[in-house]
Amino acid sequence: MIILGIETSCDETAAAVVTDERKILSNEVLSQIEEHKPYGGVVPEIAARAHLNTIDTIISRAMKTAGVEFFQLDAICATGGPGLIGGVLVGVMTAKAIAAVCDIPFIGVNHLEGHALTVRLTGDEAGKQIEFPYLLLLVSGGHCQLLIVEGSGCYKRLGTTIDDALGEAFDKTAKMMGLGYPGGPMVEQHALTGDPVRFDMPRPLKGRSGCDFSFSGLKTKVRQTIESLPDGPIKEQDKSDICASFQNAAGDVLIDRCENAIDTFLSAYPNSTYLVVSGGVAANQSILGRLKTLCKTRGLSFAAPPLALCTDNAAMIAWAGIERFKKGDVDDLAFRPRPRWPLDPDAPKVTGAGIKA
Ligand code: KG4
Ligand code: ZN
């Protein structure tokens, strides 16, 4: 089975060809970083236009690299949401057009499901496929959730953010100090030479029951800390110390919330073994290290996709499409792109400013 996947939900235009035997034949990602840089964040209108300008080229490149012709495809999938609707529309309409011309099924993939199932494509350290169920920490620019992944399309949400996503907090922290965009990698880099205990940062919800997250207080404290510094440009060491203190506090919160989630997960599935982390923030080596240590102490195995597949890409969309296609779960051409699309539709609604799905 050969599937073409398309991803256009944020600031990466991506196309990939993947097989049901877990082979990535091509994985093309074109980042729009340069277009959004002057604004310090993603501008939806600019993103949609950039997707439109480049999607044909990226798809052609993915097909050429894979050595696959359109008539050889078994299905085509595109991110159908959640995300910036202008971009999602571009990907979905393009995929539908190819599906119609080639007379193959179209699958509108949930972007979060892409992140959630990537480890089943990439496998554990030995390359072996990770079986359901597993505990998933999904940390990206728009989402911060703990879920039990019971199967493709079967998710139990244990917790979510009640305000900002962690990636968003990383990005805002970077923006406040003028570190550049995207912020996560810049904060991580500065934190390497910083003092993680110099500034006293809050650990919202730490020590409380449940698995929800909150990062807006931490973000506010970063702003207050910057304002408390002497007037003038922020010194490099101060920037590094703020980044390290922020990252340390965010890590503490993640570990605390994961501890609670592990308890819930193991009481439901005592013989299960995996904690998986996915989404853009999973590229952060300090956070990965702490999660690995947590797994060791709790007797769990740890898995994360390789760095390039943590941030947005189309291989994960193609793979999530394959998992659905195998179950006969395809969409028709009347599929409507969805700006919001929770993975677990039964999860209680959380009211908060930053909820994206
Ligand atoms: O999954 P992703 O590519 O897009 C979304 O679906 O949101 O995640 C992007 C987010 C951004 O907020 C970015 O700053 C963050 O992931 N990120 C990181 C790192 N690399 C990317 N955050 C912390 N440390 C990193 N190394
Ligand atoms: Zn993403």
Beta strands in 164-240 (DSSP E): none
Identify the pLDDT of residue 303: 97
Answer yes or no: is pLDDT of 265 > 60: yes
Query: What proportions of the chain, in percent to the nearest 5, are helix, strand and coil?
Result: 45, 20, 35
**Mean pLDDT confidence for 78-106:** 97
Answer yes or no: is pLDDT of 357 > 60: no
Identify the pLDDT of residue 40: 80
CA 234/CA 231 separation, integer angstroms = 8
Mean pLDDT of the chain: 94
Identify the pLDDT of residue 354: 35
Distance 150 CA to ligand 2 centre (A): 20
Identify the pLDDT of residue 182: 83
Identify the pLDDT of residue 351: 44
Q: How many residues make up the chain in this entry?
A: 357
Closest ligand 1 atom, residue 183 Cα: 14
The protein residue with its alpha carbon nearest to ligand 1, atom 21, reads 280
What is this structure's pTM? 0.93
* pLDDT band at residue 355 using 50, 70 and 90 as cut-offs: very low
Q: Which percentage of the chain shows pLDDT scores above 90?
A: 92
Give per-residue pLDDT as tens, 298-349: 999 999 999 999 999 999 999 999 999 999 999 999 999 999 999 987 765 5
DSSP for 94-155, please give it.
HHHHHHHHHT--EEEEEHHHHHHHHHHHH-STTSPPPPSPEEEEEE-SS-EEEEEEEETTEE
Identify the pLDDT of residue 193: 98
Identify the pLDDT of residue 348: 59
Distance 12 CA to ligand 2 centre (A): 10
* pLDDT band at residue 102 using 50, 70 and 90 as cut-offs: very high
Identify the pLDDT of residue 347: 65
Question: Among candidates 214, 164, 152, which has minimal Cα distance to 356?
Answer: 164
CA 127/CA 110 separation, integer angstroms = 25
Alpha carbon separation from 259 to 201, 210, 246, 266 (Å, rounded): 21, 10, 20, 11
Identify the pLDDT of residue 41: 83
**Mean pLDDT confidence for 228-245:** 97
Closest ligand 1 atom, residue 12 Cα: 3
Ligand 1 pocket: which of 170, 175, 190 to mutate (most atoms within 8 A of CB): 170
CA 117/CA 140 separation, integer angstroms = 14
**Could you tell me the two tokens for 315?**
């291989």
